[in-house]
A and B are shown apart, each in its own frame.
Chain A
Amino acid sequence: MSLFQLLNGLTFAALLFVVASGFTLIFGLLRIVNLAHGALYLFGGYIGYSVAVKTGSFVLGGIGAMAAIAAIGFVLDQGLLRFVRGNELRQVLLTLGVAFFLNDLALVIWGGDSFTVPIPEMLRGGTRVFGTFYPIYRLFVLGMGIFVFIGLWVLLNHTRLGALIRAGVDDAEMVEASGVNIRRVFLFTFLFGSALAGLGGLMGGAFLSLYPSADAEILTFSLAVVIIGGRGSLVGVGIGSLLVGLLNTLGQVMFPELAYFVIFGPMAVLLAFRPLGLFGRAT
């Protein structure tokens, strides 16, 4: 694999990390397999695209995408998911239904064409990385992935909110019995995780482009990342993103007709030996 392809794998991994970290926060703490997460990614991308085109600002596009997707997350959690708490099968069916709904809604609003989020002037073009010419924007995505990882790591490990979230993953009832309204912690986590999907949509929309089935693709990859890494583990998502990102690029380059198998084959083998993923713990 050349350096160019290695960087492609790493930048894709960074995007996956942003999306999948939101997924694993929700999965780990709330035990909700949110199959609408991919749709939130795509919807966030479309909204970010529209805002960025209207205002001419990539940053405003990002803020708009995150705020709008957090708002959709609020409606999803408070309006729908609260009625199926603790029932995993219903949650899966419900979020899958919401995914279909959001996709059709996006088709109505933005149509079936593919869009590419405009990249801000300063991130256009390429630069030399160890002698290889590489797009600046994709390096920016890599930087954002690292930034989000550090931010989440500090939040989870060095703040009281983070301690509450980890305690909630361990034993939500005991957090509640210690005087904390765990549902508020859950809601914050859900909104935050959703907002990360929205941010991912904008970031991905600028180099993978946005089109009607992009949500299912990113959702499949995110599921693989979280399953490999282990539920609710931030380091697990980091390692899982790297594995899936690099394997995906490797597969596309070396075995294009087996690209998916190169990811899901090793995942199946891993699960045979570590059913909870690399960093998963039984609860």
Chain B
Amino acid sequence: MLEVKNLHSGYGDAVVVRGASLEVRPGEIVALLGRNGMGKTTFIRSIMGLTPPQVRSGTITWRDESLIGLRPHDIANRKIAIVPQGRRLFPSLTVTEHLTMLKSARAKAGWTLDRVFGIFPRLAERRHHRGGQLSGGERGMLAVGRALMIDPELILMDEPSEGLAPVMVQHLESIILDLKKEGLSILLVEQNLYSALAVADRVYIMETGQIVHHGTSQEMNQQTDVLFKRLGVH
């Protein structure tokens, strides 16, 4: 479904992603693990068409079509959504407006306001609050809800567990598994090894812009010593 091959991408003279390849199949949760500054966010931004960085070489293929050179809204309209690092909510918009700016509140097809409020009842309670007035957990839920409103088939999640209390991380994991049951594919960027292994079908490990290790979560579970070394102990 999504296939990235030998991607090189970077900022100015600095090439950050250096020949990374990765695949996400339909209905699959794939985790991309790595320490800070290893190129994970650059990788995600390159898929979404966000510039900078600039893609230098390699291919990004989605449903037999190249995504390279497309504008982010074209990519979003091909049903790829992003939950960006830091959430990036809109301080001027209410919770409801975050969800309805893309789609009428009366829309019936696909993900609707009511459906998002159904899986995140907490957001319904805070529907009139603005993006800047939410707690860390609520911000994460809203960022996921906003991504769902484009009716995605693939969601790119950049460190969704960042800054969350352990109980919220568990809640997030169950949400991710629920979305998988809905048939969505998810590419999950994480620093948190256990959180990633808890939900992912397959895991890739990125180090200085290259994929240095990959396998199924079961395989990875049996090689935690390797993982610890790669990721620094978590």
A residues with a Cβ closer than 8 A to B are 160, 163-164, 166-167, 169-171, 173-182, 281
Cross-chain contact A166 with B71 (CB below 8 angstroms): no
Identify the closest chain A residue to B150 (Cβ).
A179
Give A253 to B73 CA distance when docked, in angstroms: 54
Q: Given that A166-B93, A176-B72 are known contacts, is A171 also in contact with B88, CB under 8 Å in the complex?
A: yes
Cross-chain contact A178 with B84 (CB below 8 angstroms): no
Shortest CB-to-CB span from A210 to chain B, Å, is: 37
Convert B132-152 into 0s and 1s, putting 1 for each residue whose CB lies closer than 8 angstroms to a CB of A: 000000000000001101100
Cross-chain contact A179 with B73 (CB below 8 angstroms): yes
Shortest CB-to-CB span from A279 to chain B, Å, is: 12
Convert B82-115 into 0s and 1s, putting 1 for each residue whose CB lies closer than 8 angstroms to a CB of A: 1010001011110001001110100000000000
Using A167-B97, A179-B76 as known contacts, list a sample of 14 further A-B pairs with CB atoms less than 8 Å apart, ordered by residue number in A.
A160-B101, A160-B104, A163-B97, A166-B92, A166-B93, A167-B101, A170-B92, A170-B93, A170-B131, A173-B50, A176-B76, A177-B73, A179-B150, A182-B73
Shortest CB-to-CB span from A226 to chain B, Å, is: 17
Please name 10 pairs of A and B residues whose Cβ atoms are closer than 8 Å in the assembled complex, sorted by A.
A163-B97, A166-B93, A167-B90, A167-B101, A170-B91, A171-B88, A177-B72, A177-B73, A178-B101, A179-B77
Q: Residue B48 at the A interface, CB < 8 A?
A: yes
Give A175 to B73 CA distance when docked, in angstroms: 8
Give A61 to B71 CA distance when docked, in angstroms: 40
- List the B side residues contacting A163 at CB < 8 Å: 93, 97, 100-101
Give A20 to B72 CA distance when docked, in angstroms: 32
Cross-chain contact B93 with A177 (CB below 8 angstroms): no
Identify the closest chain B residue to A170 (Cβ).
B90
Q: Given that A160-B101, A164-B101 are known contacts, is A178 also in contact with B76, CB under 8 Å in the complex?
A: yes
Cross-chain contact B102 with A178 (CB below 8 angstroms): yes
- List the B side residues contacting A179 at CB < 8 Å: 73, 76-77, 102, 150
Shortest CB-to-CB span from B151 to chain A, Å, is: 9
Mark out the residues of chain B between 16 and 67 whose CB falls within 8 Å of any chain A CB in the assembled complex. Answer: 48, 50
Give A182 to B97 CA distance when docked, in angstroms: 17
- List the A side residues contacting B101 at CB < 8 Å: 160, 163-164, 167, 175, 178, 180
B residues with a Cβ closer than 8 A to A are 48, 50, 71-73, 75-77, 81-82, 84, 88, 90-93, 97, 100-102, 104, 131, 146-147, 149-150
Give A164 to B84 CA distance when docked, in angstroms: 18
Identify the closest chain A residue to B152 (Cβ).
A179
Shortest CB-to-CB span from B146 to chain A, Å, is: 7
Cross-chain contact B71 with A176 (CB below 8 angstroms): yes
Give A173 to B147 CA distance when docked, in angstroms: 14
Cross-chain contact A160 with B100 (CB below 8 angstroms): yes
Secondary structure dominating the interface of A: helix
Identify the closest chain B residue to A232 (Cβ).
B92
Q: Given that A163-B97, A163-B100 are known contacts, is A178 also in contact with B88, CB under 8 Å in the complex?
A: no
| Interface residue from A169, A177, A180 paired with B92 (Cβ < 8 Å) | A169
Q: Given that A160-B104, A167-B101 are known contacts, is A177 also in contact with B82, CB under 8 Å in the complex?
A: yes
Shortest CB-to-CB span from B12 to chain A, Å, is: 15
Cross-chain contact A167 with B93 (CB below 8 angstroms): yes
- List the A side residues contacting B88 at CB < 8 Å: 171, 174
Give A177 to B77 CA distance when docked, in angstroms: 9
Give A160 to B113 CA distance when docked, in angstroms: 14
Shortest CB-to-CB span from A7 to chain B, Å, is: 34
Give A43 to B50 CA distance when docked, in angstroms: 39
Shortest CB-to-CB span from A91 to chain B, Å, is: 20
Give A163 to B92 CA distance when docked, in angstroms: 8
Shortest CB-to-CB span from A231 to chain B, Å, is: 13
**A163, A182, A281 pick with most chain B CB within 10 angstroms:** A163
Shortest CB-to-CB span from B143 to chain A, Å, is: 10
- List the B side residues contacting A160 at CB < 8 Å: 100-101, 104
- List the A side residues contacting B102 at CB < 8 Å: 178-180
Cross-chain contact A173 with B72 (CB below 8 angstroms): yes
Shortest CB-to-CB span from B107 to chain A, Å, is: 11
Shortest CB-to-CB span from B221 to chain A, Å, is: 33
**A167, A171, A178, A180 pick with most chain B CB within 10 angstroms:** A178
Cross-chain contact B97 with A180 (CB below 8 angstroms): no
Q: Given that A163-B97, A163-B101 are known contacts, is A177 also in contact with B91, CB under 8 Å in the complex?
A: no
Give A166 to B131 CA distance when docked, in angstroms: 12
Cross-chain contact B73 with A176 (CB below 8 angstroms): yes
Cross-chain contact B73 with A180 (CB below 8 angstroms): yes
Shortest CB-to-CB span from A193 to chain B, Å, is: 18
- List the B side residues contacting A170 at CB < 8 Å: 90-93, 131
Give A167 to B91 CA distance when docked, in angstroms: 8
Give A175 to B102 CA distance when docked, in angstroms: 9
